[in-house]
Amino acid sequence: MFSSIRWKFIVVYFLLVFIAMVIIGIFIVNRMEDQQLQTARSSMEQQVETIMSTSSYIATGNWTENREGIQSTLNDWRLGTGETLYVIYDENVPKILATTNKQYESIVGNNALSYRYTDSTLIGRAFQGESAQSVLMDEVAENEYMHFAAPVFSSVGKINGVLYMTSDLSNVARTIEDSRAILTNATLMALGITIVLGFFIASSITGPIRDVTKKAEEMALGDFDQFVEVKSDDEIGQLAGMFNHLTLKLKDTIEEMDLERSKLDTIFSYMAEGVIAVDKNGSIIHANPIGQKLMEIDNAFLDRAGIFELEKLGMENIDYTNPETLNGETTFEKDEGVYKVKYAPYKNERDNIAGVIMVLQDITQEHKLDNMRKEFVANVSHELKTPITTIKSYAETLMNNEVDAETEQKFLSVIDRECDRMGRLVRDLLQLSNIDYQKTKWNRTNISIGDMLLDTISKLQLLANEKNQRITSYIQPELPEIRADRDGIEQVILNILTNSIKYTENEGTINVSAKSRDHFVDLSISDDGIGIPDEDVGRIFERFYRVEKGRSRDMGGTGLGLSIAKEIIEAHNGTIEIISKKNKGTVVNISLPAV
């Protein structure tokens, strides 16, 4: 009897369903048990961490003086059914200081190591500075309990004591037993149905089903060029015909899906923004390369659908019960970068909200530009406020008070100087604006840079003589000319030489040189002055930036000279750099294309 195809089919079908149901049942039960234990463990850890962070009595170092307050806190704390919390103090002889047990008066003061409802091993590990948990059997109650012990640290890192929590796992055990019973009944029902259906199916299906099975196996391996020969017009023949039709439709559908998936993968992979999608449980289900790189998500984390912390993106207010919180945007900073996050919910096939999709856009440059704009406005306002205040004060004094001619002349001189100062500031700002918007018209001619250097040194020699400074120069013979705007380049050299004279002490030395190099003319202006600190060198070309703000302002500077110099040199396809050490001097190197 069992040698026939029908009974072989029934036996195989029976065993297949039986083994599958057993494997699935074991997996589901084990998974459910692990999940229940994990949920209990997480709940206990969260309860303990919440008490640590909210109770001022526990946060203080002296628990013995605050025992009543700690006990009051525990009495008011709401724990789950079957959960008990103990506060244990004194590392040498751990004692129970407070507890949520209703019979706490008889428990407080007991030795925690010998108390029947605590585990001395966990207490010892907690006093060594590590949290620990375990599942223990209560022989008296014939029930398992989860135990969790966590150390409480003071602000200086010392262990104040231990919070010890137990949770009754009887509900977990009942849930697991009920699940086993349900799975057992389901398995028995499935096996009964399998036998009945297998008998009828095996009686009517012989050769064609084997052909269809073989073709289906080939399709499962990815070969969709499979067709079943139709030998009859009955149900088996119709099944074969539908199988052939399904094969064609499936092949077309898969090709379309592959094409669309390829398009989407290309779009997501090469788009400039990061894209991350999570489900309602917080498990990450998708992240493009930019999103993975930005949030440091590796492929292993993505494959196992790890929990993504929305708090990293400032989205801690997400609440799936409140749709208004699922749309919006926020910003966060990471590794000196600023990013905008736009998020919105996505729906599943049942049109229910299944999670949130986030788009991460790098706005670091926009943020920096906005800060620069604010700083620029503040600096301009500050630079104009000082001379305006001075002019107003002196003018009011002249208008409201009778002063002698000498004082009047002195006040008018101050007003004149402050007006000149504002004029220089406005002139420099206009020059920078014209350069920024490319409105400056450069009158480019062939210029002998050596003659220009000597002429500039001659103009500033009197200023250097006032400080007994020595200016030396070296101009390479037959130095090639440059093609540039004479006034612009002369303004740069005057500015740099003037700075060298200003910030070089009396009897100092300033060296000026010019030489050719590979179709370029290199200028170098060095001094042995006060120099620039390392932290300021990188910002020296920023507008309004001053190394010593008060002293620079007293010397008449606007903080724009070097910014203008850099813009002029770069407009002539050249480069400028500053090398400086505090109290050791400064070197300014300029390179311009030769004719």
Q: Report the SS3 class of residue 182.
A: helix
> Which residues have a Cβ under 8 Å from the Cβ of 322 and sit 6 or more positions away?
none
How far CA 512 is from CA of 27, 166, 446, 490, 493, in Å, comes to: 83, 81, 21, 14, 10
Enumerate the domain spans of the chain: 7-175, 220-267, 271-362, 367-436, 444-593
Q: Among 44, 37, 271, which residue's Cα sits nearest to residue 171?
A: 37
**Cβ count within 10 A of residue 172:** 20
Residue located via tokens 């589901």? 28
* CA–CA separation, 563 and 577 (whole Å): 12
| Tokens (6 digits) for 509 | 């030395």
DSSP character at residue 523: E
**Burial of 346 by CB count in 10 Å (0-12 exposed, 13-18 middle, 19+ buried)?**
middle
Asked if 287 contacts 277 with a C-beta cutoff of 8 angstroms, the reply is yes
Considering the segment(s) 444-593 as one domain, its CATH architecture is: 2-Layer Sandwich (3.30)
**Burial of 130 by CB count in 10 Å (0-12 exposed, 13-18 middle, 19+ buried)?**
exposed
Asked if 558 contacts 383 with a C-beta cutoff of 8 angstroms, the reply is yes
Strand 132-138 relative to strand 143-153: parallel, antiparallel, unpaired? antiparallel
Q: Report the SS3 class of residue 424.
A: helix
Considering the segment(s) 367-436 as one domain, its CATH architecture is: Orthogonal Bundle (1.10)
Q: Listing from the earlier edge strand, what are the strands of the sheet with 274-279?
A: 284-287, 274-279, 353-362, 337-347, 328-334
Rounded to 5 degrees, φ, ψ at 165 are -130, 140
Q: Report the SS3 class of residue 231.
A: coil
- Say what the pLDDT of residue 201 is: 67
* CA–CA separation, 315 and 241 (whole Å): 54
DSSP character at residue 579: E
* CA–CA separation, 491 and 507 (whole Å): 25
Q: Among 444, 513, 512, which residue's Cα sits nearest to residue 476?
A: 513
Q: Report the SS3 class of residue 77.
A: coil
Helices (H) and strands (E) in the chain — how many of each?
17, 17
DSSP string, 380-423: HHHHHHHHHHHHHHHHHHHHHS---HHHHHHHHHHHHHHHHHHH
Which of the residues in the chain have pLDDT under 70? 1-6, 61, 91, 139-141, 201-210, 224, 230-232, 235-236, 268, 371-372, 375-379, 381-383, 545-559
One-letter amino acid identity for 336? Answer: E
DSSP string, 453-519: HHHHHHHHHHHHHHTT-EEEEEE-TTPPPEEEEHHHHHHHHHHHHHHHHHTS-TT-EEEEEEEEETT
DSSP character at residue 433: H
271-362 under CATH 3.30.450.20, yes or no: yes
H helices of 527-584, in order, are 534-537, 549-554, 561-571
Q: Listing from the earlier edge strand, what are the strands of the sheet with 95-99?
A: 95-99, 83-89, 159-168, 143-153, 132-138
* CA–CA separation, 199 and 10 (whole Å): 6
Element (H, E) at 44: helix 5-54
* CA–CA separation, 187 and 195 (whole Å): 12
- Say what the pLDDT of residue 551 is: 45
447-480: per-residue pLDDT in tens? 998 898 999 898 888 888 989 999 999 999 889 9
Strand 470-475 relative to strand 509-517: parallel, antiparallel, unpaired? parallel
State the fold for domain 7-175.
Beta-Lactamase (3.30.450)
Tell me whether the CATH fold assigned to 7-175 matches the one assigned to 271-362.
yes
* CA–CA separation, 354 and 348 (whole Å): 6
Question: What is the pTM for the complete model shown?
Answer: 0.42
Q: Among 289, 305, 284, which residue's Cα sits nearest to residue 357?
A: 284
N-terminal to C-terminal alpha carbon distance within the chain: 105
374-432: per-residue pLDDT in tens? 766 666 766 677 778 888 887 888 888 777 878 888 888 888 877 877 777 777 777 77
